[in-house]
């Protein structure tokens, strides 16, 4: 068996590409690209192709040493055929990544949902190691989750199980990128927090986060963290509101599925400890007493590399072969 695989984490704001040593899960080398989804799917594919080439050049490896390329993408995925069926946060629909990249590189390519792929990484090398029943939740541009029961990811009848970001928290609520209204990710994702802060600033609210913003630049998790550390009223209010909604979603998961462990990840969770601590505290208080007493929470151990490492392991997963 070849020693290395390439893992690609395709997200709404960045593409992270890593060369992974399969036995240890070590990321030997990595390349990061901006997604720039507004330029279209062809641009995203081009950036992945460029990134793979740069990665091999930087690491001094060749395709003769690589067993496969695995991709974890946001959105709904046809795992068998390697197609992105629909990814609103990428503005990609019916994109056959498997066919395109296999033709380009002449190497096996596997595609999975980004959160499920990151869960595979955490299950084998991270916070989920040795745990048979857990749920992974990632908070970023959107909110995604994956459910592991008896050591196996639950995909559901149509392969779309685990869409925590699209549970309805307000029947007549905010519009979501998926086309529905009142979805959790319209209230508790990083994008939702950014939208609330930006809206308040336009209405004249004062915030120290303005000091970090350059013209045309987006709010980042790092800016949110710095503002909370300075006890900024507006940012703290918006983050607290988001944690209120996310904790309600997690309480529903605890009551419905009764997992042993919930693993939380994503840029906002990693950067803003206040958000993480507030969310798990509120989730426990909103859950039924018995499961609330037993539930454990953890941040991802692999951090930004969860998706890259999990993607590199896709060729070992029978359910997508």
Residue that the structure tokens 């950014």 belong to: 194
241: CB partners within 8 A, 6+ apart? 187, 196
Q: Report whether 137 contacts 143 (CB < 8 A).
A: yes
Query: How many other CB atoms sit within 10 Å of the CB of residue 107?
Result: 16
pLDDT of res. 319: 63
For residue range 227-237, what is the model confidence (pLDDT) as tens digits?
A: 999 999 999 99
Helix 221-229 vs helix 233-257: angle between axes, to the nearest 10 degrees? 110
pTM: 0.90
Segment 53-69, tens digit of pLDDT: 999 999 999 999 999 99
The β-bridge partners of 298 are 263
By mean pLDDT, which of 87-91, 148-152, 284-288 is the weakest?
87-91
Quote the mean pLDDT of the chain.
Answer: 93
Q: Which of 257, 86, 80 is nearest to 164 (CA)?
A: 257
**pLDDT confidence of residue 1:** 66
Q: Phi and psi at residue 130, in whole multiples of 5°? A: 85, 0
Contacts of 250 (CB under 8 A, 6+ apart): 137, 262, 279, 280, 283, 287
Instruction: Choose among 198, 203, 168: nearest CA to 186.
Output: 168
What is the spatial distance between Cα 235 and Cα 174, in angstroms, rounded to a whole number? 20
pLDDT tens, residue by residue, 240-253: 999 999 999 999 99
Whether residue 92 is predicted with pLDDT greater than 80 in this model: the reply is yes
The residue among 7 and 86 whose pLDDT is bigger is: 7
Question: What residues contact 229, with CB distance under 8 A and at least 6 apart?
Answer: none
Give CA–CA dist 192/187, Å, rounded.
5
In the chain, what are the domains?
4-121+305-320 (3.30.420.40), 129-300 (3.30.420.40)
DSSP letter for each residue of 30-67: EEEEE--GGG-HHHHHHHHHHHHHHHHHHHT--GGGEE
Question: Cα(74)–Cα(95) distance, rounded to whole angstroms?
Answer: 12
User: Phi, psi at residue 175, to the nearest 5°?
Assistant: -70, 145
Q: How far is CA 292 from CA 29, 165, 246, 250, in A?
A: 40, 21, 16, 11
Backbone torsions φ then ψ of 169, nearest 5 degrees = -110, -10
pLDDT of 160 reads 84
Judge contact between 135 and 145, C-beta under 8 A.
yes
CB of 246 within 8 A of CB of 140? no
Position 83 scores a pLDDT of: 94
Please give the DSSP secondary-structure letter assigned to residue 218: P
Q: How far is CA 198 from the centre of its chain?
A: 23
DSSP label at residue 217: P
């Amino acid at each position: 068996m070849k020693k290395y695989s390439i893992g690609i984490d395709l997200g709404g704001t960045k593409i992270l590409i890593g060369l992974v040593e399969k036995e240890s899960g070590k990321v030997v080398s990595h390349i990061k690209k901006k997604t720039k989804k507004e330029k279209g799917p062809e641009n995203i594919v081009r950036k992945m192709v460029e990134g793979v080439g740069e990665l091999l050049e930087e690491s001094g490896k060749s395709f003769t040493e690589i067993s496969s390329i695995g991709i974890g993408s946001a959105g709904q995925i046809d795992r068998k055929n390697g197609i992105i069926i629909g990814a609103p946060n990428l503005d990609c629909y019916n994109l056959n990544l498997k066919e395109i990249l296999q033709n380009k590189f002449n190497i096996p390519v596997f595609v999975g949902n980004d959160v499920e792929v990151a869960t595979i990484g955490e299950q084998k090398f991270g916070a989920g190691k040795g745990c048979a029943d857990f749920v992974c939740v990632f908070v970023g541009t959107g909110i995604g989750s994956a459910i592991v029961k008896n050591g196996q990811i639950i995909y559901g009848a149509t392969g779309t199980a685990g869409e925590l970001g699209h549970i309805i928290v307000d029947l007549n609520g905010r519009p979501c990128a998926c086309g529905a209204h009142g979805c959790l990710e319209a209230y508790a994702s990083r994008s939702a927090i950014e939208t609330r802060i930006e809206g308040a600033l336009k209405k004249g609210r004062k915030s120290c986060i303005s000091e970090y913003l350059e013209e045309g630049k987006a709010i980042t998790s790092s800016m949110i963290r710095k503002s909370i550390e300075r006890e900024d009223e507006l940012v703290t209010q918006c983050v607290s509101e988001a944690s209120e909604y996310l904790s309600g979603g997690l309480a529903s998961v605890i009551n419905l599925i009764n997992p042993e462990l919930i693993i939380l990840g994503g840029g906002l969770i990693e950067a803003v400890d206040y958000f993480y601590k507030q969310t798990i505290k509120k989730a426990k208080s909103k859950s039924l007493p018995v499961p609330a007493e037993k539930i454990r929470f953890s941040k991802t151990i692999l951090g930004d590399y969860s998706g890259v490492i999990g993607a590199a392991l896709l060729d070992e997963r029978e359910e997508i072969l």
